Amino acid sequence: MRKTYTYNPNNITSFKEQLLAWAQQFYEVVWLDSNNFKNAYSNFDAVLAVDALTSISTDYHEGFQNLKEYQTNTNDWIFGYLSYDLKNDVEALYSNNFDGLQFPELMFFQPKKLFFIKGEDVVIQYLNMVEDEIEDDINAIISYKLTEKTASNNKELKIKRRIHKDEYYSKVENMLEHIHRGDIYEANFCQEFYAEEVTLNPLAIYANLNHISKPPFATFLKFEDKYILSASPERYLKKQGNTIISQPIKGTAKRSANLKEDKELKEALKIDEKERSENIMIVDLVRNDLSKTATKGSVTVKELCEVYTFPQVHQMISTVASIVNKDTHPIDIIETTFPMGSMTGAPKVSAMKIIEALEETKRGVYSGAVGYISPAGDFDFNVIIRSILYNKTKQYVSFSVGGAITAKSDPVKEYEECLIKAKAMREVLEN
């Protein structure tokens, strides 16, 4: 059982900064922030979950079944992540590529302390065992002194590429051969940028990345020595009551400081034949995935190829919805749609096999999902893209970027799109 308390801070913006800084004392932290992005499907502006009472950490073997049992038995709020490599639990696949990060493939925890922010209100939910700490914690948060901290202790952080440019071109040509043979229609091909022997201040890195990008699905996640610092613009999957929402992104255009040129870039993306075809292919895949748990005839496309603007890029987003029976288990809905189509391709299994053969790095948490499941079985998960991943013990930092390869793809343009997506993360890490 939880004790609920409502608090109204004098300044919600300052409170959010102090709250996340205060949270760093805990081994388990999940912070989800919409950056006040007005989305018809959002429940909160921001959420903080800290301090595990119970947790689950596992590899992909029976990963979804283990999560299902944990979620059912806990019957409380749980927060955590699903790594891309849970694909091996869903299909007869494997992940043998290099893994510098060494994150568990699935990790969730039941927080003792929860903060839900909406507008100017903060709703606090503490487990009964710690309810007498609420007042002291609020006083500690609002009196927390924020200090300027450098993001990196490395004078010259050298970011390296796992795949060099000419090799990238060759691999995209290989993928195009698969497409022309009819093995696949589309696949998301990703590459890793990384640095070794790195000491970072994860909170400062996250704050800088979030300031640059202001995405609707920002995440700061800490599990002991492992960090996800995410500026994700994409929702993977949300359940609210019996309604399921998926919002795949396919289609990216750069921004311009010149208002006229920026508008032209946005309009060009709206009518770009290649970008629209990429998006529509993934919408079809998502419709098929949702149909596995949907009531008959309930899968609908609410938005098709709508263009949204973010500080770094314009993005083409579609919204697909379905209705499920009230007795459908939330983990079954996630399992039958995972990994998300926007990060795999079509047909999904064939695309994942080709991705594994051509990519040089195990994706791990990248192109997985971070989010929560409520006691009622509702959930909301982002897609882990535009994200910096850090293993503090191994002193290894990594970010990956990718794009959809279709029959109309030009390897040079695909590489340029990767660099656009990598820009904010590179800037933050290199100060």
Token pair for residue 176? 């195009």
Please state, in angstroms and rounded to a whole number, the distance separating the CA atoms of residues 101 and 96: 14
CA distances from 85 to 64, 77, 346, 368, 406 (A): 12, 24, 17, 8, 23
Q: Which of 28, 234, 275, 278 is catalytic?
A: 234
Q: Which of 16, 250, 353, 421 is catalytic?
A: 250
306 catalytic per annotation: no
Q: How many other C-beta atoms can be found within 10 angstroms of the C-beta atom of residue 119?
A: 10
CA distances from 183 to 253, 259, 345 (A): 28, 42, 11
Please state, in angstroms and rounded to a whole number, the distance separating the CA atoms of residues 205 and 119: 26
Token pair for residue 67? 């999560």
Token pair for residue 115? 């903060």
Nearest to 389 by CA among 212, 195, 248, 234: 195
Give start and end residues of each alpha helix (H) in 41-164: 63-74, 87-90, 134-142
Q: Are 163 and 36 in contact (CB under 8 A)?
A: no
Token pair for residue 35? 């950056």
250 catalytic per annotation: yes
Say what angle helices 12-23 and 134-142 make with each other, to 10 degrees. Answer: 110
Q: Which residues are the active-site residues?
A: 234, 250
